[in-house]
A and B are shown apart, each in its own frame.
Chain A
Amino acid sequence: MDGDSSTTDASQLGISGEFVASGQYVFQSQDDDGEENLNDHDDGGIKENFREQDIYLPIANVARIMKNAVPQTGKIAKDAKECVQECVSEFISFITSEASERCHQEKRKTINGEDILFAMSTLGFDMYVEPLKLYLQKFREAMKGEKGIPGVPGGDGLGDELTEDNFTNPLPAGIITADGQQQNVMVYTTSYQQVQPHTTRPDDTFLGGNLLQCPPKRLRLCCRSPPCSRSSFHDKALPLNTWPDDL
């Protein structure tokens, strides 16, 4: 169920920063645009570019939860917020490694809900287990509601056939996939002979039509920058497998 966690947006990988919107449930890693980018990274291999202790949850969210927990008039020191932010990452790693260990012992590869709950009881957080089961139930109901009729696949957004007519119109965003997650993708085509939908990066600026002016040799560059105006290549059949390497 866990898909590829590679992200296409550099700003999504910011470490800390103000993130005030509610958590989004998305397939690709996505966070609010207001986040700061503290570390350099590539689009792929995100995990390898961060040290474990550098990945934190957004401090605004953490601070908000703390604020709601203490009495209304209470104050929270800034270093206390930062401290809890770090502790939270520690907590997640703590639970995950225990759950992962159990998973391996049972020769399974995917950590499931039971592993997490078991890890919590083992590590002294058994008081969380019952409330969590209730939350999980509500969550499942909410997910079912989004999908519509349970059991019916939510649609395979990336598998849609596109015709030439779709060329000028990007597909709508927010496609819900079969596992209930919402995929925010813009699907572009770069060939008018045969179409291959693909997830685009936010800096792909060309939209239909313009593609026809891109020469086949420079197709990759044109995918990233404002289209060139070389109409001399207009009528040439474009090779089908000219996707940028990193897609």
Chain B
Amino acid sequence: MKMSQNTPDKEDQSSTNKKNISLPISRVRLIMKSSPDVSSINQDALFLTTKATELFVQHLAVASFNNGPGKATNSLSYTDLANTAEEMETFHFLTGELGCRLYRPAGTVMFSASSSLRWCVLL
């Protein structure tokens, strides 16, 4: 069985390095299209989102690493991430995502709905 997709791999890698991407664009597009009411996505938008995602991963990793006790232990754990999401406003949208696994102090409830972009904290 011939798989033509494999042959230009080397070309892809060298050209991809020029474009500075280390995440699969096709997968990013899939995720974008899973949002409601998204009909089509411009090439630039796709690239920007992919690149922004890389920046986001770096940003989140570094912020969490520096923020939590992990800095002392030189490791990054789940709780570091969860704490960072709660403490930094930029990452508040993640609290719903992270929340289901995080033990909450009594009396605090958080949720977020990503598609409606609303979140609230009830005390």
Contact = CB atoms under 8 A, between A and B. Distances in A.
A146 B85 CA distance: 40
Given A24-B12, A29-B27, A1 B42 contact: yes
User: Which of B35, B36, B98, B101 gathers the greatest number of chain A CB atoms within 10 Å?
Assistant: B35
Given A23-B23, A31-B27, A58-B27, A182 B114 contact: no
Interface residues on B, range: 35 or more
A57 B52 contact: no
A74 B43 contact: no
Contact of A113 (B28, B48, B74): B48
A139 B51 CA distance: 10
Contacts of A240: none
Given A57-B23, A184-B8, A25 B80 contact: no
Interface string A169-189: 010011000011110111000
A50 B72 CA distance: 40
B24 A125 contact: no
A137 to B, nearest CB: 11
B121 to A, nearest CB: 17
Interface in A81-103: 83-84, 86-100
26 contacts: A1-B40, A21-B13, A22-B22, A23-B22, A25-B16, A26-B26, A30-B5, A33-B3, A57-B53, A65-B22, A65-B61, A70-B65, A77-B76, A83-B101, A84-B61, A88-B57, A90-B93, A93-B32, A94-B93, A113-B48, A124-B90, A128-B55, A138-B18, A138-B20, A179-B43, A184-B5
Interface of A: 1-2, 5, 9, 12, 19, 21-26, 28-31, 33, 46-47, 50, 52, 55-58, 61-62, 64-66, 68-71, 73-77, 79-80, 83-84, 86-100, 104, 109-113, 115-117, 120, 123-125, 128, 131-132, 135-136, 138-140, 142-143, 145-146, 170, 173-174, 179-182, 184-186, 202-203, 205, 207
Interface of B: 1-9, 11-13, 15-58, 60-62, 64-65, 74-78, 80-82, 85, 89-90, 93-94, 97-98, 101, 114-115, 117
